[in-house]
Amino acid sequence: MRHLLISAAVLAMGAGTAYADANLQKMMDDPNQWVIQTGDYKNQRFSKLDQINKDNVKDLQVAWTFSTGVLRGHEGSPLVIDNVMYVHTPFPNTVYALDLDNDGKIIWKYEPKQNSDVIAVMCCDTVYRGVAYADGKIFLHQADTKLVALDSKTGEEVWSVVNGDPAIGETNTATVMPVKDKVLVGISGGEFGVRGSVTAYNTKDGSLAWRAYSMGPDSDILIDPEKTTHLGKPVGKDSGLNTWEGDQWKIGGGTTWGWYSYDADENLMYYGTGNPSTWNPAQRPGDNRWSMTIMARDVDTGVARWFYQMTPHDEWDYDGVNEMILTEQEFGGEMRKLLTHFDRNGFGYTLDRVTGELLVAEKFDPKVNWATEVVMDPNSDQYGRPQVVSQYSTRQNGEDVNTTGVCPAALGSKDQQPASFSPETGLFYVPTNHVCMDYEPFRVSYTAGQPYVGATLSMYPAGDSHGGMGNFIAWDNEKGEIVWSIPEQFSVWSGALATSGDIVFYGTLEGYLKAVDAKTGEELYKFKTPSGIIGNVMTYTHNGKQYVAVLSGIGGWAGIGLAAGLTNPNEGLGAVGGYAALSDYTALGGQLTVFALPN
């Protein structure tokens, strides 16, 4: 009976919150604005604008630029709302409102007062993936986990709430997602033994609506053990406890620093959870549920409808936080509501987003070798599980064994850099990493606020004909196969943008903005910005003219060596050595570059 009481309490907590922010949805539907980091709730990152198209994109020119005044890695993108552009920076998470009607004049500037000690507990650079907008407010989730609602016209603080505690390793790098009368936020800190969660705050005043943890008692992870399913079967009682040893779930990771999506008809939000803590798999036997999991939750209550754990008992740090892209497509001869996800583990997944049924699981980088396949037979006791190759298991005979040649590396065949989808071509456009690693676990003890990693890594190019350290690919999510692939010297760490102009934009770590033909992948345009691009390309119109904009500023996990001045090849969780050559092509920066066709 206990789970029924839990569910009833959660449902009561969500009562009376059923109104939708119709105005926000209307703004998202207007391609002349860019109102949410993901372009829309479906995470498609597609624009209907076509003034810039495959025939004239070669003529693109820089229209104007803006210096953010901050170095280190610039992820995310600006927002454009009613002729005002909102630009963010990495730590200290400064926010600018720029007047597009007045040559980008600064309307207001918000500078958070954060303790710089938070930098020491931020994994993989001081990045931030951007502000959000709803109800006349700009939402900023600072590195120190303070969530601030700013008046969009004045920049004045309306309310604020603290979501976590940096003293125990809880930080933030992700954007937030406003839905209906709530704003949904995650947490970072898996490398410090944080227990992941998603929290909903009420947009009006910042009061707590609900919080769902990634693992723990049923009451904490907000499930009904008889109704919440995993691959079509009830998860059962204590699913977030009984695959952990003792009470290790309390420091179990499963953080939620990726992208969220939302299906208004189903009233479900979708997101992924990250790696289990520690990185030493010998110290945490079991499947470690619900780390590495796609979750579908009711927005009003937080109660989970279904889960799918992609990498049970993760041994490689293949966080499952990458975006969930929602589409309506014909699959198997019928129209279905689909969810497509490109995981760090190198498999591209297609699921029915209503039921959680697994439809496709195929490698989107041919070099992936840690597993042979994902079992697709529903009658098998291995259904949905990757078949691990023993040679590339990092849990060898005891600890302190260096497992070599594992592909992909811990930063995955794709990290958080978001893909895009074009409903006009039916293809997904995916920035990828073509990188392998050596991985040596060691025993580590937990101390609150101290690193809880327990592994030494080194990374290097995959080294075959598929490309350098990265590719930009087009993917068919029904067949589970690459349609075309563009090799890049370094990982593609920029978010993609597809448009009705039959073009796709993306950026490179050397700093190039590129435009390619959406159908063939033919390169149509490139321009080198002042620093490496790990930001996400966006587009908007002003006074009837289409613009394309991107933040440049090298950093993030791939660029952490440059961003933080690290030189030891094993620093940056193994990335410094792998990307050492980046310093020959780019330097630190923090700039917004805006492009347009000549008058």
121 φψ region: left (φ > 0), alpha (ψ -120 to 50), beta (else): alpha
Look up tokens 């080198």; give the residue. Answer: 528
Q: Could you write out the DSSP letters of every residue in 386-445? A: EEE-GGG-S--SSSS--EEEESS-TT-SS-SSPPEEETTTTEEEEEEE-EEEEEEE----
How many CA atoms are closer than 13 Å to the CA of 471, on its beta-carbon side? Answer: 26
pLDDT at position 181 is 95
- pTM attached to this predicted model: 0.95
Of the candidates 388, 407, 404, 523, the one whose C-alpha atom is nearest the C-alpha of residue 464 is 407
Element holding 471 (H helix, E strand) = strand 470-476
Tokens describing residue 212: 């769902």
Nearest-angstrom CA–CA distance, 554 and 339: 31
Range of the domain at 544: 2-15+36-596
pLDDT at position 432 is 98
pLDDT at position 398 is 60
Residue 49 and residue 546 in contact, taking contact as beta carbons nearer than 8 Å: yes
In a domain, 110, yes or no: yes
Tokens describing residue 348: 């591209």
In a domain, 55, yes or no: yes
pLDDT in tens, 532-577: 999 999 999 999 999 999 999 999 989 899 998 998 888 888 889 9
Q: CA-based angle 462:465:468, to the nearest 5?
A: 50
Tokens describing residue 570: 């094993």
pLDDT at position 425 is 98
Find the catalytic residue in 218, 298, 317, 319.
317
Residue 185 and residue 270 in contact, taking contact as beta carbons nearer than 8 Å: no
* 3-class state of residue 257 by DSSP: coil
Residue 63 and residue 523 in contact, taking contact as beta carbons nearer than 8 Å: no
pLDDT at position 22 is 79
How many CA atoms are closer than 13 Å to the CA of 441, on its beta-carbon side? Answer: 23
In a domain, 26, yes or no: no
Three-state SS string over 156-224 comes to CEEEEEECCCHHHCCECCCCCEEECCEEEECCECHHHCCECEEEEEECCCCCEEEEEECCCCHHHHCCC
Of the candidates 147, 197, 193, 139, the one whose C-alpha atom is nearest the C-alpha of residue 167 is 193
Nearest-angstrom CA–CA distance, 316 and 544: 48
In a domain, 407, yes or no: yes
Q: How many CB atoms lie within 10 A of CB 19?
A: 8
Of the candidates 247, 238, 300, 309, the one whose C-alpha atom is nearest the C-alpha of residue 273 is 309
The number of domains in the chain is 1
362, 364, 369, 371: CA torsion to nearest 10: -30
Burial class (CB in 10 A: 0-12, 13-18, 19+), 390: exposed
pLDDT at position 19 is 42
Residue 137 and residue 150 in contact, taking contact as beta carbons nearer than 8 Å: yes
Residue 309 and residue 316 in contact, taking contact as beta carbons nearer than 8 Å: no
In a domain, 410, yes or no: yes
Of the candidates 463, 374, 470, the one whose C-alpha atom is nearest the C-alpha of residue 430 is 470
CATH number of the CATH domain containing 65: 2.140.10.10
In a domain, 28, yes or no: no
Q: In angstroms, how far is CA 489 from the centroid of its own chain?
A: 23
Catalytic residue flag (residue 317): yes
In a domain, 238, yes or no: yes
* 3-class state of residue 268 by DSSP: strand
Residue 49 and residue 500 in contact, taking contact as beta carbons nearer than 8 Å: yes
Helices (H) and strands (E) in the chain, counts: 5, 40
Of the candidates 500, 517, 545, 529, the one whose C-alpha atom is nearest the C-alpha of residue 592 is 529
Q: How many CB atoms lie within 10 A of CB 489?
A: 15
What residue type is 373 in one-letter code? Answer: E
Q: In sequence order, what are the beta bridge partners of 208?
A: 201
Q: What is the pLDDT along the chain (599 residues), one digit of tens a residue?
A: 333 333 333 333 333 333 447 789 999 999 999 999 999 999 999 999 999 999 999 999 999 999 999 999 999 999 999 999 999 999 999 999 999 999 999 999 999 999 999 999 998 899 999 999 999 999 999 999 999 999 999 999 999 999 999 999 999 999 999 999 999 999 999 999 999 999 999 999 999 999 999 999 999 999 999 999 999 999 999 999 999 999 999 999 999 999 999 999 999 999 999 999 999 999 999 999 999 999 999 999 999 999 999 999 999 999 999 999 999 999 999 999 999 999 999 999 999 999 999 999 999 999 999 999 999 999 999 999 999 999 999 987 666 789 999 999 999 999 999 999 999 999 999 999 999 999 999 999 999 999 999 999 999 999 887 779 999 999 999 999 999 999 999 999 999 999 999 999 999 999 999 999 999 999 999 999 999 999 999 999 999 999 999 999 999 989 899 998 998 888 888 889 989 999 999 999 999 999 999 99
Helix locations, 202-277, DSSP H = 218-221
In a domain, 108, yes or no: yes
Residue 276 and residue 283 in contact, taking contact as beta carbons nearer than 8 Å: no
What residue type is 148 in one-letter code? Answer: V
